[in-house]
């Protein structure tokens, strides 16, 4: 699973490259696509769970510019008792070579929507997260 993004004028800032805040939107778009592909969102809503990002660490290696075609990929990195972490990359193919434009680690928790409290990652929630591990193609070593 990967999200394709073409860079248009509305993505560009006054310095003629994609502003750092846009990368967060690109990463979030792929996480939504990833969760939809794995039928996680409907399951979470039905089971009264929501997710909240609690920490995002982003590295910017190269600027993306007008006309670039980017690919965003996501994989489950690890999960503990109450939080989980995914790893993401934004990749550009330029002159036939794939290059990492940015990468990010996103830590998130799951919240019981009735109690409005974080929950322990166990039972079916843990099983679903474990199934995400096998869905992680297209990454480049950085």
List pLDDT tens digits, range 114-141: 999 999 999 999 888 887 776 556 677 7
Query: Catalytic residue at 13?
Result: yes
Q: Span 44-69, mean pLDDT?
A: 95
Q: Write down the catalytic residue from 13, 39, 42, 112.
A: 13
What are residue 104's phi and psi, to 5 degrees?
-150, 150
What are residue 47's phi and psi, to 5 degrees?
-95, 10
Distance CA 86, CA 88 (A): 7
Over residues 68-81, the pLDDT tens digits come to 999 999 988 888 99
Distance CA 87, CA 120 (A): 21
Per-residue pLDDT at 95: 85
Percent of the chain with pLDDT over 70: 94
Per-residue pLDDT at 39: 87
């Amino acid at each position: 699973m990967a999200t394709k993004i073409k860079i248009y004028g509305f993505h560009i800032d006054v310095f003629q490259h994609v502003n750092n805040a846009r990368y967060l939107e690109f990463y979030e778009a792929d996480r939504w696509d990833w969760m939809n592909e794995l039928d996680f969102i409907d399951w979470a809503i039905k089971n009264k769970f929501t997710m909240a990002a609690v920490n995002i660490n982003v590295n910017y290696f190269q600027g993306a510019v007008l006309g670039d075609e980017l690919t965003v990929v996501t994989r489950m990195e690890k999960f503990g008792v109450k939080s989980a972490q995914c790893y993401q990359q934004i990749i550009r193919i330029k002159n036939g070579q794939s290059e990492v434009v940015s990468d990010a680690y996103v830590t998130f928790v799951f919240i019981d929507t009735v109690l409005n409290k974080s929950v322990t990652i166990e039972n079916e929630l843990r099983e679903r997260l474990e199934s995400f591990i096998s869905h992680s193609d297209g990454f480049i070593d950085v």
